[in-house]
Structure 1
Amino acid sequence: MAKIRIYDPALCCPTGVCGPSVDPELTRIATALFMLEKKGADVARYNLGSEPQAFIDEKNVNQLLNDKGTEALPVVVVNDKVELTGKYPTNEQLAKWTGISVQELTKEPKKMKGIELL
Protein backbone atom coordinates (compact mmCIF):
# COMPACT_ATOMS: atom_id res chain seq x y z
CA MET A 1 0.00 0.00 0.00
CA ALA A 2 1.17 3.53 -0.77
CA LYS A 3 2.78 5.90 1.71
CA ILE A 4 0.90 9.21 1.51
CA ARG A 5 2.09 12.48 3.05
CA ILE A 6 0.08 15.69 2.85
CA TYR A 7 1.79 19.00 3.54
CA ASP A 8 -0.90 21.55 4.46
CA PRO A 9 -0.68 25.33 4.54
CA ALA A 10 -0.79 26.86 8.01
CA LEU A 11 -4.09 25.76 9.53
CA CYS A 12 -5.69 26.65 12.86
CA CYS A 13 -5.47 23.02 14.01
CA PRO A 14 -4.11 19.71 12.64
CA THR A 15 -7.16 19.09 10.42
CA GLY A 16 -8.31 22.63 9.74
CA VAL A 17 -11.88 21.69 10.62
CA CYS A 18 -12.34 24.02 13.55
CA GLY A 19 -13.66 27.53 13.88
CA PRO A 20 -16.95 29.15 12.90
CA SER A 21 -16.78 28.43 9.14
CA VAL A 22 -15.36 25.08 8.14
CA ASP A 23 -14.16 24.47 4.57
CA PRO A 24 -16.04 21.38 3.29
CA GLU A 25 -12.92 20.29 1.40
CA LEU A 26 -10.96 20.11 4.66
CA THR A 27 -13.75 18.06 6.20
CA ARG A 28 -13.75 15.68 3.22
CA ILE A 29 -9.98 15.14 3.26
CA ALA A 30 -9.93 14.71 7.06
CA THR A 31 -12.66 12.06 6.81
CA ALA A 32 -10.96 10.25 3.92
CA LEU A 33 -7.61 10.17 5.74
CA PHE A 34 -9.30 8.96 8.93
CA MET A 35 -10.92 6.12 6.99
CA LEU A 36 -7.59 5.27 5.31
CA GLU A 37 -5.89 5.09 8.71
CA LYS A 38 -8.64 2.77 9.97
CA LYS A 39 -7.87 0.50 7.00
CA GLY A 40 -4.17 0.45 7.91
CA ALA A 41 -2.92 2.88 5.28
CA ASP A 42 0.36 4.71 5.87
CA VAL A 43 -0.81 8.34 5.84
CA ALA A 44 0.44 11.46 7.57
CA ARG A 45 -0.47 15.10 7.42
CA TYR A 46 1.76 18.05 8.31
CA ASN A 47 0.68 21.60 9.14
CA LEU A 48 3.07 24.38 8.12
CA GLY A 49 2.02 26.46 11.12
CA SER A 50 2.85 23.84 13.74
CA GLU A 51 5.26 21.41 12.02
CA PRO A 52 7.61 23.49 9.83
CA GLN A 53 10.48 21.03 10.23
CA ALA A 54 8.59 18.42 8.19
CA PHE A 55 8.52 20.88 5.26
CA ILE A 56 12.26 21.43 5.55
CA ASP A 57 13.08 17.73 5.87
CA GLU A 58 11.12 16.71 2.75
CA LYS A 59 13.44 18.00 0.00
CA ASN A 60 10.77 18.04 -2.74
CA VAL A 61 8.37 20.07 -0.60
CA ASN A 62 11.13 22.41 0.51
CA GLN A 63 12.10 23.02 -3.14
CA LEU A 64 8.48 23.71 -4.11
CA LEU A 65 8.14 26.23 -1.29
CA ASN A 66 11.35 27.95 -2.39
CA ASP A 67 10.17 28.05 -6.04
CA LYS A 68 6.45 28.81 -5.67
CA GLY A 69 5.94 29.85 -2.06
CA THR A 70 2.94 28.76 -0.06
CA GLU A 71 0.78 28.82 -3.22
CA ALA A 72 2.14 25.29 -3.84
CA LEU A 73 0.36 24.03 -0.72
CA PRO A 74 -1.12 21.62 -0.07
CA VAL A 75 1.48 19.24 -1.50
CA VAL A 76 0.70 15.54 -1.73
CA VAL A 77 3.65 13.13 -1.74
CA VAL A 78 2.98 9.49 -2.58
CA ASN A 79 5.82 6.99 -2.14
CA ASP A 80 8.32 9.87 -1.94
CA LYS A 81 7.12 11.41 -5.25
CA VAL A 82 5.17 14.67 -5.51
CA GLU A 83 1.82 13.75 -7.05
CA LEU A 84 -0.21 16.91 -6.51
CA THR A 85 0.32 20.56 -5.61
CA GLY A 86 -2.07 23.37 -4.78
CA LYS A 87 -5.06 21.16 -4.00
CA TYR A 88 -6.12 18.11 -2.05
CA PRO A 89 -6.45 14.73 -3.74
CA THR A 90 -9.88 13.47 -4.67
CA ASN A 91 -11.23 10.36 -2.99
CA GLU A 92 -10.75 8.63 -6.34
CA GLN A 93 -7.04 9.50 -6.34
CA LEU A 94 -6.66 8.29 -2.76
CA ALA A 95 -8.42 5.05 -3.69
CA LYS A 96 -6.15 4.54 -6.69
CA TRP A 97 -2.99 5.11 -4.66
CA THR A 98 -4.02 2.85 -1.79
CA GLY A 99 -6.14 0.16 -3.42
CA ILE A 100 -8.99 0.97 -1.02
CA SER A 101 -12.40 1.53 -2.62
CA VAL A 102 -13.85 5.02 -2.88
CA GLN A 103 -16.91 3.88 -0.92
CA GLU A 104 -14.72 2.95 2.04
CA LEU A 105 -13.29 6.49 2.13
CA THR A 106 -16.65 8.15 2.61
CA LYS A 107 -18.19 7.87 6.01
CA GLU A 108 -21.90 8.60 6.12
CA PRO A 109 -22.83 10.77 9.09
CA LYS A 110 -25.09 9.12 11.64
CA LYS A 111 -27.95 11.06 13.16
CA MET A 112 -28.64 10.81 16.83
CA LYS A 113 -31.46 12.90 18.27
CA GLY A 114 -31.09 15.48 15.50
CA ILE A 115 -27.29 15.75 15.82
CA GLU A 116 -25.04 14.56 13.01
CA LEU A 117 -22.12 12.43 14.17
CA LEU A 118 -19.28 10.91 12.17
Structure 2
Amino acid sequence: MTTLYAQPYNIDATGFYFDSAEDYESKAKNNYDRYGQFVEEYEIQFIDGEQIDCELAKAIGLNQCNFSTFLDCVDRWEDHEKIRFTIANGECGYSLDPATVDIDVLDIDIYV
Protein backbone atom coordinates (compact mmCIF):
# COMPACT_ATOMS: atom_id res chain seq x y z
CA MET A 1 0.00 0.00 0.00
CA THR A 2 1.20 3.48 -0.86
CA THR A 3 0.70 6.29 1.63
CA LEU A 4 0.76 9.95 0.61
CA TYR A 5 0.59 13.12 2.69
CA ALA A 6 -1.23 16.34 1.78
CA GLN A 7 0.86 19.17 3.23
CA PRO A 8 -1.08 22.45 3.10
CA TYR A 9 0.68 25.52 1.73
CA ASN A 10 -1.31 27.41 4.39
CA ILE A 11 0.90 27.39 7.50
CA ASP A 12 -2.16 27.71 9.75
CA ALA A 13 -3.61 24.39 8.56
CA THR A 14 -2.90 20.76 9.32
CA GLY A 15 -2.22 18.16 6.66
CA PHE A 16 -3.39 14.58 6.45
CA TYR A 17 -2.34 11.11 5.28
CA PHE A 18 -4.28 9.31 2.55
CA ASP A 19 -3.98 6.25 0.32
CA SER A 20 -6.71 6.75 -2.30
CA ALA A 21 -8.41 9.55 -4.21
CA GLU A 22 -11.60 8.94 -2.26
CA ASP A 23 -9.75 9.16 1.04
CA TYR A 24 -8.12 12.44 -0.08
CA GLU A 25 -11.44 13.96 -1.14
CA SER A 26 -13.21 13.07 2.10
CA LYS A 27 -10.42 14.57 4.21
CA ALA A 28 -9.76 17.62 2.00
CA LYS A 29 -13.38 18.73 1.90
CA ASN A 30 -13.37 19.01 5.70
CA ASN A 31 -9.98 20.64 6.13
CA TYR A 32 -9.99 24.18 7.51
CA ASP A 33 -7.20 26.29 8.95
CA ARG A 34 -7.28 27.63 12.50
CA TYR A 35 -9.19 30.73 11.31
CA GLY A 36 -11.98 28.68 9.74
CA GLN A 37 -10.82 29.21 6.14
CA PHE A 38 -11.12 26.27 3.75
CA VAL A 39 -7.75 24.80 2.70
CA GLU A 40 -7.42 24.41 -1.07
CA GLU A 41 -3.76 23.93 -1.98
CA TYR A 42 -1.50 21.09 -0.92
CA GLU A 43 1.94 19.76 -1.63
CA ILE A 44 1.55 16.00 -2.11
CA GLN A 45 4.36 13.97 -0.55
CA PHE A 46 5.21 10.30 -0.97
CA ILE A 47 5.46 8.91 2.57
CA ASP A 48 5.44 5.12 2.46
CA GLY A 49 5.42 2.37 -0.14
CA GLU A 50 7.63 0.33 -2.43
CA GLN A 51 10.90 1.92 -3.58
CA ILE A 52 9.83 1.52 -7.21
CA ASP A 53 6.66 3.52 -6.45
CA CYS A 54 8.75 6.26 -4.85
CA GLU A 55 10.83 6.49 -8.03
CA LEU A 56 7.64 6.53 -10.11
CA ALA A 57 6.33 9.44 -8.02
CA LYS A 58 9.51 11.38 -8.81
CA ALA A 59 9.29 10.57 -12.52
CA ILE A 60 5.63 11.62 -12.69
CA GLY A 61 6.29 14.78 -10.70
CA LEU A 62 3.74 13.94 -8.03
CA ASN A 63 1.45 16.88 -7.22
CA GLN A 64 -2.12 17.80 -6.31
CA CYS A 65 -3.30 17.52 -9.91
CA ASN A 66 -1.89 14.09 -10.73
CA PHE A 67 -1.81 12.07 -7.49
CA SER A 68 -4.96 10.19 -8.50
CA THR A 69 -3.33 9.10 -11.76
CA PHE A 70 -0.20 8.16 -9.82
CA LEU A 71 -2.19 5.95 -7.44
CA ASP A 72 -3.92 4.33 -10.42
CA CYS A 73 -0.55 3.57 -12.03
CA VAL A 74 0.77 2.10 -8.77
CA ASP A 75 -2.17 -0.30 -8.66
CA ARG A 76 -2.45 -1.07 -12.38
CA TRP A 77 1.11 -1.21 -13.74
CA GLU A 78 3.48 -4.12 -13.34
CA ASP A 79 7.03 -3.45 -12.09
CA HIS A 80 8.50 -3.57 -15.61
CA GLU A 81 6.00 -0.90 -16.75
CA LYS A 82 6.88 1.33 -13.79
CA ILE A 83 10.58 0.93 -14.59
CA ARG A 84 10.01 1.72 -18.25
CA PHE A 85 8.07 4.90 -17.46
CA THR A 86 10.55 5.98 -14.78
CA ILE A 87 13.48 5.59 -17.15
CA ALA A 88 11.68 7.42 -19.97
CA ASN A 89 10.51 10.37 -17.86
CA GLY A 90 13.23 10.49 -15.24
CA GLU A 91 16.37 9.55 -17.16
CA CYS A 92 15.71 10.03 -20.89
CA GLY A 93 14.06 13.45 -20.71
CA TYR A 94 10.61 12.51 -21.96
CA SER A 95 7.58 14.41 -20.67
CA LEU A 96 5.02 11.63 -20.79
CA ASP A 97 1.61 11.88 -19.22
CA PRO A 98 0.93 8.65 -17.30
CA ALA A 99 -2.80 9.09 -17.90
CA THR A 100 -2.41 8.91 -21.69
CA VAL A 101 0.81 6.99 -22.38
CA ASP A 102 0.56 3.48 -23.81
CA ILE A 103 3.26 1.96 -21.65
CA ASP A 104 3.33 -1.27 -23.70
CA VAL A 105 4.52 0.49 -26.86
CA LEU A 106 7.05 2.75 -25.14
CA ASP A 107 10.31 1.78 -26.83
CA ILE A 108 12.68 1.54 -23.86
CA ASP A 109 14.70 -1.65 -23.40
CA ILE A 110 15.08 -2.83 -19.83
CA TYR A 111 17.71 -5.32 -18.75
CA VAL A 112 17.55 -6.49 -15.15
TM-score by length of 2: 0.28
Where relative contact order (Cα < 8 A, 6+ residues apart) is larger, the structure is: 1
More strand by share: 1
* Normalised TM-score (structure 1): 0.27
